[in-house]
Structure 1
Amino acid sequence: MTGPGGDQPRTVLLTGGTGFIGSHVLAGLLAAADRGARLRVRLLAHTAAPPAHPAIEPWTGDLADPATLRGVCAGVSRVLHLGSLITGDEDRLQAVNAVGTSALLGEARAAGSRSFVRLSTTAVYGPGPHRGVTEETAVPGPKSAVSCSRLAGDAQVLAASGTVVRPHLVYGRGDTWVVPAAVTALRLLPGLPDDGRARVSLVSADDLAKALVALALDEAEPPAGVLHAAHPEPVSVRAMLSRVAGELSLPLPEQALTADEALPGLPVGDERALRLIRFLTTDAWFDSRLLWRTTGVHPGAGFLAGFPAHAPWYRESLRLPGSSILSGARRLAP
């Protein structure tokens, strides 16, 4: 693998490389370099110190401060923009997710780097229900400030013929909300709202990272447009909770409840509780076959077969002192 100069290493700009999904992607890129790929990873980081590796070029910058991005795309063949803000006030969210993305696109354009891949979220489609939605049929309908800001950034990338990857629920090492939210439901609810019939799309961070690394390293230009990122087979909420309960030694509530009957089991007046109930009762599954066809990456074993390998990490992380039992439900709905 070479860059535009032939013998020069290809340089990929990675933002968000110290976050949950980004750390998996960074590991995949560095593994490719260790296997002999002629690759440099220019890592844009705000505060976190980058890992020591000869393939890493650290760049200190802030998406909310365009001045710190000047020159960041010089010599870059592909931008892998995973950085985003998911909490904060509306102005700060817009500054990072929309204005910051615009600034980064401007830097890429000025440097002649036309290949731009952005990680987004299916939350930009609103709370649903969503059943087998394809990239072509999906209609944006964000309901929160964070989803609106991310959609605004997406629109700019799409207008520049870039690629936008939208996963739904992502689990694995570093997950602080998907499986923790499932554990919240198992611990607090006497039964399963709507008997767990809703189906949802999930993907492991490892498998999502493989697809993103493939988009970053493929000699061909990534396709312009949206790519959904999930395992092709959706999972029922009952099956998901049953697997989590079995692997984490938690009881599975067998009583069937309506959503209204389930709410009293959660902290009264807590908006996160309402979001958790919505997560447990709303179909949210997306057609993602295009991503796996495009990248040639296998989508993995799926949640039911793949979760046991992640269970030891979750068992350890969920015992950390001071963690809120509802922390996982905070971002389950847009």
Structure 2
Amino acid sequence: MHDNGGLQDSTVLVTGGAGFIGSHLVDGLLSAGVREVRVVDNFVNGRRENLAAALADPRTDVVVADIRDRAAMRAVLDGVDVVFHLACLGVRHSLHDPVENHSVNAEGTLLLLQAALTAGVRRFVHVSSSEVFGTAQTTPMDELHPTWPETVYGGSKLAGEAYARAHWRTYELPVIVARPFNTYGPRSHFEGDSGEVIPRTIVRSLCGRPAIVFGDGEQTRDFMHVSDTARGLIALASCEAAVGKTVNLGSGAETTINDLVTAIHWAVGPDCGGVERLEDRPGDVRRLLVDDTLMRTLTGFRPEVRLEDGIAELVWWFANRPESPQEMLAAIEDRNWVR
């Protein structure tokens, strides 16, 4: 593989490939001209409908498996050139089941790295999370910002990062660690313990129900559209100079939850339902803002979708889903970390 050469003629494995970011990545890889995309997903959070376009392409193969299944991973990695590892359980899940969260996110990553090493994979992109940082101590946050995760999820993703870097240093497995900040867009989760603030707020607003804001709403996030996140991951995998590095991936724009809700309400219209404020959410990061200097230096990557445009697109997407807004609302749990 070589700088700016892309991934053409590669066989690529995407774990968690039926999920939100993973399915967009699969679409992007097919558009980039890869030879084959193998998707591994256990469909706990992923959806087959997310792969509708990809499954129409004969280059796509879906394997239903858990990344902790060693025999299944050995088989699926046979002949694979590049791995994008996205399979994980999320932040809210870690609040009610920290042990399983650790098992998938940390132990599962270690097992997959070992299998990839044995298989002779030529590139392993470990997709981590800005949650490894915890709350920003200084901004903007570069790759050397202290890592003090607030949750077991953040801790488990940090452990996965450490295992990935160790495989580069000890075994020379060509690893890249990517840290996406807050990704949003079509196929994002509104339901259950995977539900995120933007899709949950859009669904509630479409039903004329108030947005739920935890605490004072002055928490900030760095939101980037999923199309940009997928494009950034492909750019990193195609960059020889990124091997061995940990790279932040975000928009460089800081948005409060209060301002986010205002933007969603503007996109939905006057019957959106106002705001309901609840107690602080446990383990909630207070502030995030990326320093993406390294990403831009390595790849020249810059995000293309403005938050306002992405929100408007996503409101349309949710309004035109097969389920009614009321049906989607029934799957939303206000305190989705409690079991």
TM-score range, shorter chain: 0.7 to 0.9
Asked if the contact 2:213/2:257 (under 8 Å) is kept, the reply is no
Tell me the residue number matched to 1:131.
139
Deviations 1:159-181 (A, max 9, x none): 22322222222111022213145
Distance 1:189 1:307, change over 3 A: closer
Asked if the contact 2:41/2:87 (under 8 Å) is kept, the reply is no
Q: CA shift at 1:118, angstroms?
A: 1.2
The aligned amino acid for 2:198 is V
Q: CA shift at 1:20, angstroms?
A: 0.5
Asked if the contact 1:130/1:284 (under 8 Å) is kept, the reply is no
1:1-334 superposed matches below 5 A: 9-33=9-33, 38-47=34-43, 51-86=55-90, 87=93, 89-128=97-136, 131-136=139-144, 138-161=145-168, 162-175=175-188, 176=190, 177-182=196-201, 187-188=209-210, 198-216=219-237, 218=238, 220=240, 222-250=242-270, 265-266=276-277, 273-275=279-281, 282-316=286-320, 319-321=325-327, 323=329, 327=333, 330=336
Distance 1:189 1:246, change over 3 A: closer
Larger radius of gyration: 1
Asked if the contact 1:80/1:118 (under 8 Å) is kept, the reply is yes
- Secondary structure, in 3 states, of the residue corresponding to 1:79? strand
Distance 1:90 1:221, change over 3 A: same
Q: CA shift at 1:203, angstroms?
A: 0.4
- Secondary structure, in 3 states, of the residue corresponding to 1:203? strand
Paired residue total: 303
Asked if the contact 1:207/1:300 (under 8 Å) is kept, the reply is yes
- Mark the runs of 5 or more structure 1 residues left unpaired by the alignment: 3-7, 255-261, 268-272
Cα distance in structure 2, aligned partners of 1:202 and 1:24? 16
Asked if the contact 1:129/1:284 (under 8 Å) is kept, the reply is no
Distance 1:42 1:193, change over 3 A: closer
Distance 1:164 1:327, change over 3 A: farther
Q: CA shift at 1:237, angstroms?
A: 3.8
The aligned amino acid for 2:40 is L
Cα distance in structure 2, aligned partners of 1:328 and 1:295? 40
Q: CA shift at 1:212, angstroms?
A: 1.3
Q: CA shift at 1:301, angstroms?
A: 3.2
- Secondary structure, in 3 states, of the residue corresponding to 2:242? coil
Q: CA shift at 1:220, angstroms?
A: 2.8
Q: CA shift at 1:191, angstroms?
A: 9.6
Deviations 1:64-117 (A, max 9, x none): 222221143232221111111222623322221111111111111112224211
The aligned amino acid for 1:298 is R
Asked if the contact 1:228/1:288 (under 8 Å) is kept, the reply is yes
Deviations 1:177-209 (A, max 9, x none): 131454569954799975x65542110111101
Asked if the contact 1:199/1:284 (under 8 Å) is kept, the reply is yes
Cα distance in structure 1, aligned partners of 2:69 and 2:99? 13
Cα distance in structure 2, aligned partners of 1:125 and 1:55? 37
The aligned amino acid for 2:154 is S
Cα distance in structure 2, aligned partners of 1:249 and 1:206? 25
Q: TM-score, normalised by structure 1?
A: 0.77
Q: CA shift at 1:276, angstroms?
A: 8.8
Cα distance in structure 2, aligned partners of 1:45 and 1:62? 7
Q: CA shift at 1:315, angstroms?
A: 3.4
- Secondary structure, in 3 states, of the residue corresponding to 2:79? coil
Q: CA shift at 1:313, angstroms?
A: 1.2
Asked if the contact 2:239/2:298 (under 8 Å) is kept, the reply is no
Cα distance in structure 1, aligned partners of 2:40 and 2:332? 31
Q: TM-score, normalised by structure 2?
A: 0.76
The aligned amino acid for 2:251 is H
Asked if the contact 1:81/1:117 (under 8 Å) is kept, the reply is yes
- Mark the runs of 5 or more structure 2 residues left unpaired by the alignment: 3-7, 169-174, 191-195
Q: CA shift at 1:9, angstroms?
A: 3.0
